[in-house]
Chain A
Amino acid sequence: MKQYDVVVVGAGHAGCEAALACARMGLKTAIFTLNLDSIANMPCNPSIGGTAKGHLVREIDALGGQIGKCADATLIQSKMLNRSGGPAVYSLRAQIDRRQYQTVMKHMLEKQENLDIRQYEITDIIFDNNSGVTGVVTNTDVVISAKAVIIATGTYMKSRIIIGDMSYEGGPDGFLPANRLSLNLEKKGIKLRRFKTGTPARVHKNSIDLTKMSVQNGDEPIVPFSFETDKIEINQIPCYLTYTNEKTHDIIRKNLDRSPLYSGKISGTGVRYCPSIEDKIVKFADKERHQVFLEPMGLMTDEMYVQGMSSSMPEDVQEAMYKSVKGMENVVFMRSAYAIEYDCFDPLQLMPTLEFKKFPGLYSAGQSNGSSGYEEAAAQGIMAGINAALKIKKQSSFVLDRSEAYIGVLIDDLVTKGTNEPYRMMTSRAEYRLILRQDNADERLTPKGYKLGLISEERYTGFLRKMENIEKEIERLKKKNVSPKIVNPFLEKRNQQPLNSGTTEAAILKREGVGYNDLYEIDDEIPELTKEEREQVEIKIKYEGYIEKQQRQIEQFKKMEKVLLSENIDYKKIKGLRNEAQQKLDNVKPVSLGMAGRISGVSPADIQVLYVYIEQQKRKKRKAKE
């Protein structure tokens, strides 16, 4: 019998990060997939990043993960979104050569020391009541032993494809579904949910008149995802924008009765975050047109992804409505749009480490936890991998809180509040987003990644140098005085109020419309800094007030996070709690008072009661010792 420390079930974006993290932390790891050709597949849009998701990618990279590097190696277009929104919401998004991405990631897994890759369907997990997880069973009835198992099955568990009035058992992109695993887990007492998502058609580029659409070019120069990628110089490939029209909407309206969504055929909970075109027409009946983006699937293919027209209508309706769109009059389909229903876990069963509360050694990451998106999956993957590894090494767990990373917000939301629909990361979910910027992900997380053994010495030394340069320069600017004589012509040129007396250069930089690079005009002592370092100096000085304000909010928040709650508390015995709070707390078993406060149905008064309860327990213990 094969023996591993960690077995990862599934080799999508969560599985790959999980397996790499475990192997890099020195554990003997295996990753199993239904099909080796589906490793790191992108069955939906051929892009990585975007608002909030781009933050996740940067954070994963800062911790020592892979998604950012693979994206950098295979991107064919890159954009920094939200340039006008302020530094906290700058977001990187790249179009990816999908096939190339899979090749690069698969090769990365193959090259990784301590990691075996094998095409297997896992049908069951073996538990021992005393020691927790002990292994997995394959579809060929092979038993493989493991100290920890990470489930990262994406949308494959008992998945069903729905196109109009027909449906069949099947995974995304024509791959096989995993029909037995979720059934066997349910028998063991794991709670399942049924979720639904969908994807638009892929069409042949040569059948589209791109001249009728507007060209969407990438940004130059390209900002890489990975802090380790120096620069990316490629010929970027454009995307194209067109619109639906009244004719499209008419076709959809006339055929609504044939939509499985509206005829009741689909029972899974749908996504507000990726509405089908039918949903958009029904919900926003007033809107005259909807955007449709055509995105290339790669360099070596003419397949194009039609963003904005995801649908579960029958194929004849799909084709008719696509053909009504300007530039797509003669469109030729290569793959139809479809909806997919699948089993996933209620994430309230998980601890913030992504380990099941009731099944020690069993972890879950990605869409199997009810999330949506490659980046959300990868983020959970690396965290589950790290925690499984730490547990086997008998080291304390690694949890990021809401003030440390978008990753922390994502996992905290999932395990504290649960979700009723595939969960998408959004900027608006991150209350401390001025601190959680994509530009400072390394500052926030690289020291942690280094401690975990996921960041090389060389990278860490470079990181420390960067931090030192930034700090020194900020110090210098705050001390450096400038006289009105020097600075006033500079200010007048920018229509700024001139000065009567001297001030610091930092104060000048704080003014609206003044950037760090402008300072060269009045300062010949500016040290040589990298672009990234200059950017940090500018942001940290310009937004100092706001950053400090958020730091104060974070201090308040941390106070409650630090008050820990034991998993053994019997909430039903705490009389002062209201019934609803007792049940919710018992179900979620929060790790801290802060987390308890975020559970819906737990009131501020309940938190006060818990506070007193903790103190009571502490005193009882003290008394017992005496």
Chain B
Amino acid sequence: MEHTIAAISTPVGVGGISVIRISGSKAFSVAESMFKSKTPFRDIKSHTVTYGHIQDKKGNTLDNVLLLKMKAPKTYTKEDTVEIQCHGGLYVTRKILALAYTNGAVPAQPGEFTKRAFINGSIDLMEAEAVMDLINSQAEDAYREALSQMKGEKSLQIKSIRSELIDLISHIMVIMDYPEYDTEKITAKEAQDKAQDIADRLKVFVEDFDERRIIREGLTVAVIGDVNVGKSTFINRACGENRVIVTDIAGTTRDVVEVKIDVKGLCVTLKDTAGIRSTDNEIEKIGIEKSKQAIEQSDAVIYIADINQPYKDEILHYLRDRDKVICVLNKTDLLLEKDKDKHIESMEKELKKLFKDRIIACSLDKKEGISEIFDKLLDMVNAGSIRSKDSAITNERHKKHILDAITNLENTKEGSFIDMLSIDLTTAAEELGKITGETASADIIDRIFEKFCIGK
């Protein structure tokens, strides 16, 4: 029997509404255990929308939602399907998804809804190739996201915790596989204590995970441009029109100023790079290097230029062929009224080669352009040309693996022989390996021969 799967099916963190889709034989029971409405869940008619709220196990309301209940086979996957529309932003959406996992659903694999739709016959044979292409490209996206996330400190911690676990397992296994060698023995009690210690550290990780996630995730946008083109004005205006999550403007001694703002549910980190000064060649060079670095490290770039000044060739050259750049031509208010339209038109025409339709001429001083810029940014996210470094799916899946690892580590308490413990420990290591992309069995054997001197 196939698992019941759940995932967020709307683009990550964009727009006010997110949809969580649950599909599989247990979809209704998963939904029923968390959805409260006037009509009892079982009495809700198929293919109708019901208003209600999502309640966690402690009885707390997470969000008011619309729920669409669809009985098989008239659904996309031809399985019982529930879609939950919520509007509480990323954080709440993820809480709801996590709740679905706790209630018996499992994270959907990349492309799994589509795959099921195909396997169960709701997608035409002709489309099979497209489905196959989709699976790997989605998997690669997920992988890339996981990778970029894995670069962080947290991921190193998971890796090192997993490595400790592999140490423990290989220690047990070396005793099992080479009982006559004088390797240091380990008792079941010692192994259980060690497992509990690892579990406890993973728990901290999960708790941490929930709180920090909202801050860690989202788009990073570099704001690039010469001195005095209006970068600070842009950032101030952006903060004015959006909710500020964190601000680091006080860090005047630093080269880069960072603010995090909430743009329609998407967390955007704006990085103001030091301006490119043109007084001294050496310093200018450093400025350009810094800008390049910021461009490389960002998901998107907002390039601001003074429409009254000639633009810097080198940085423009560098921005060429990148489809993640929005070009802002600022200070249109300083143009002479009679030449204004013509001038803008000619500038836009010239830059069109580089930025296509992603050019906005405005006056930031006059509070113009801000919403246009962010709309463009969200359009690009939706079109897939830029992407948040993290995705809810990857994250929730990670969390689920960590929780499963913890469960297995704590199961070791029931085992009376160290060999039985090693089976739970190995399952735990496999769960963590799903995050770090490592497989347990080969690692354990390698570790045995790395750390222990055995063999006839």
Query: Using a CB–CB distance below 8 Å, which chain A residues touch chain B?
Result: 45, 51-52, 81-82, 84-89, 91, 200, 271-275, 280, 283-284, 287, 290-291, 293, 307-308, 310, 426-429, 431, 433-434, 512, 543, 545-546, 549-550, 574-578, 603-606, 608-609, 611-613, 615-616, 619-620, 623
Report the minimal beta-carbon distance from A569 to chain B, rounded to whole angstroms: 13
Extra inter-chain contacts (6) besides given A89-B419, A273-B455, A291-B180, CB under 8 Å: A45-B456, A51-B176, A428-B176, A546-B423, A608-B115, A620-B125
Check A428–B417 contact: CB distance below 8 A: no
Check A272–B179 contact: CB distance below 8 A: no
In the assembled complex, the Cα of A269 lies from the Cα of B179 at a distance in Å of 26
Report the minimal beta-carbon distance from A624 to chain B, rounded to whole angstroms: 11
Partner of B135, one of A81, A82, A284, A609: A609
Check B455–A543 contact: CB distance below 8 A: no
Partner of A605, one of B110, B118, B169: B110
In the assembled complex, the Cα of A84 lies from the Cα of B178 at a distance in Å of 13
Q: Which residues of chain B from 402 to 456 have a CB within 8 Å of any chain A CB?
A: 414-420, 422-423, 426, 441, 444-445, 448-449, 453, 455-456
Q: Which residues of B contact A612 (CB under 8 A)?
A: 115, 118-119, 128, 131-132, 135
Q: Which residues of chain B from 148 to 197 have a CB within 8 Å of any chain A CB?
A: 169-170, 173, 175-182
Query: Using a CB–CB distance below 8 Å, which chain B residues touch chain A?
Result: 109-112, 115, 118-119, 125, 128-129, 131-136, 138-140, 169-170, 173, 175-182, 414-420, 422-423, 426, 441, 444-445, 448-449, 453, 455-456
Which 4 interchain pairs have the tightest Cβ spacing? Answer: A576-B132, A86-B417, A605-B139, A86-B419
Report the minimal beta-carbon distance from A494 to chain B, rounded to whole angstroms: 14
Q: Which residues of B contact A85 (CB under 8 A)?
A: 175-176, 179, 417-419
Contacts A/B (CB < 8 Å), 11 sampled: A51-B179, A85-B418, A273-B455, A427-B419, A428-B176, A433-B423, A543-B420, A550-B423, A576-B129, A606-B136, A608-B112
Known A-B contacts A428-B441, A434-B423, A575-B132; the reply to A615 vs B118 at CB < 8 A is yes
In the assembled complex, the Cα of A575 lies from the Cα of B444 at a distance in Å of 34
Check B420–A290 contact: CB distance below 8 A: no
Count of A-B residue pairs with CB < 8 Å: 140
Known A-B contacts A428-B445, A546-B420; the reply to A81 vs B119 at CB < 8 A is no
Check A433–B419 contact: CB distance below 8 A: yes
Q: Give the nearest-CB partner of B111 in chain A.
A: A608
Check B119–A82 contact: CB distance below 8 A: no
Q: Which residues of B contact A512 (CB under 8 A)?
A: 416
Report the minimal beta-carbon distance from B135 to chain A, rounded to whole angstroms: 5
Check B136–A605 contact: CB distance below 8 A: yes
Q: Which residues of A contact B448 (CB under 8 A)?
A: 428
Q: Give the nearest-CB partner of B182 in chain A.
A: A291
In the assembled complex, the Cα of A2 lies from the Cα of B112 at a distance in Å of 59
In the assembled complex, the Cα of A367 lies from the Cα of B182 at a distance in Å of 29
Q: Which residues of B contact A82 (CB under 8 A)?
A: 176, 179, 419
Q: Give the nearest-CB partner of B142 in chain A.
A: A605
Partner of A577, one of B136, B170, B181, B418: B136
Q: Which residues of A contact B136 (CB under 8 A)?
A: 576-578, 605-606, 609
Partner of B456, one of A274, A543, A550, A616: A274
Check B182–A615 contact: CB distance below 8 A: no
Q: Which residues of A contact B118 (CB under 8 A)?
A: 612, 615
Check A272–B423 contact: CB distance below 8 A: no
Q: Which residues of B contact A308 (CB under 8 A)?
A: 456
Report the minimal beta-carbon distance from A52 to chain B, rounded to whole angstroms: 7
Q: Which residues of B contact A280 (CB under 8 A)?
A: 453
Q: Which residues of B contact A272 (CB under 8 A)?
A: 449, 455
Q: Which residues of B contact A427 (CB under 8 A)?
A: 173, 176-177, 419
Residue from B132, B415, B416 with most neighbouring chain A CB atoms (10 Å): B132
Q: Give the nearest-CB partner of A280 in chain B.
A: B453
In the assembled complex, the Cα of A307 lies from the Cα of B456 at a distance in Å of 6
Q: Which residues of B contact A613 (CB under 8 A)?
A: 128, 132
In the assembled complex, the Cα of A274 lies from the Cα of B449 at a distance in Å of 11
Q: Which residues of A contact B111 (CB under 8 A)?
A: 605, 608
Report the minimal beta-carbon distance from B25 to chain A, rounded to whole angstroms: 15
